[in-house]
A and B are shown apart, each in its own frame.
Chain A
């Protein structure tokens, strides 16, 4: 029977949200096309973690092995190859995450599967895959129709589907023996590194004033700092500012930085790549200032100002100076 297979992603004994997000869309496609949904769990099972998937898929494939405790490309590739070659799922779904980005392209090349990455919407009609992607930094939508194939591999953008996956199924668990690992010595996982101690915790701030690429040069930062000081806000930033080391990495809001939820978030010169949005979209009130009316930040901001931030900043600071 045809199946959609979802690679469950976990770290430190917890599932990542993307696992449930993928099951949401997999179940929707499964229902529309009368296809079963399988969750593939690779890992060292502790406290029945895989049972948490039971209500949200038809079958759990469990490969339980200490070599799979932490993600390692060589072991994961061999494990997935073994399972996919045996079950031939019609669609295999992997998260477009640090793990999935490391795994999917290599897997596609190894198994000769058509791969489409970073999808935000998926349709499956008459056994043909149709996806929506965002390109050019989210400024353009690309609707792709794939050529017919018996098998597809796709990676899905985190946050694109509901993580509160509908329950109600009762999956059987099938265990799959782990392959022999003997030849895999080229890449070895050594450990995780957490970020060093930070000067301020941006996640604890009530008000964040955040800057992006639009700040242009570090000499412009005092202008923003003045405004932040006038309203008692903490300064944060998007990725390009941290990459340039204009502000420390610990001030970075987004997927690879911090997730924040302040009462007010004011974004200056931030275009709003999805990695940034993922870190701040749950702020109570978002005000965005950007010269480009089509900047993706305006799709999630509550209020927008389409003006030059350097015109806006001194005026705003003045409003609070009294």
Chain B
């Protein structure tokens, strides 16, 4: 195959990986702390993307500027949702949280369907189609920005977890819930904060994805399985894992598409998922149980 196409596919795979990292970073935090699969992750991304869409179309707020609004709004929404619904209904049982988030995702998706209809929407801003020449290929500027921000976001979250008291408390709760409670950490509050931060990252992801992608009430399905694969591959709770996992999945999809066609190419993602579960269930950077 033409080396320029291979180089272009590599660049494309990495950029695609950046997008997946964005969506997976919040999931890995929630997964790592709460130890549950947040089935509502895709629906929350969808809500955030609609938020960005309407901020632009109704109020003229640029998608990147919308981050100032979307990140805190999603944090508060996540915090309140955990405190008001998930935490209360779960009675401290992980399997309950799993079912509640599944129920929430169905509810949110159907309410969105009722409000927004099944319609897909795209936005057009001055830079949506601005292309940057990167080696043998042209890369849309929004994809480059999303890639850079995905890396920065994961680095910031990693630092936050390592260097701050709150980060240490979150890690303590993730590792030993009872022990954390014994040393005076308000575990429920940490859960709510983690859920809030997880959703806040989706707020950022939505702002970065909207200039590239479309939004519809079912958009969550398009990303959520890939995001889970990234988290499992990278190791739950690991932001470095989210970055590396995102890149591996992005490259797999890109080269799968190149060699097997876009129909079969995505099979690689499922294969990775199965292989990781079989060979290294804790993921590349996850702590071994």
Question: Are A and B physically bound partners?
Answer: no
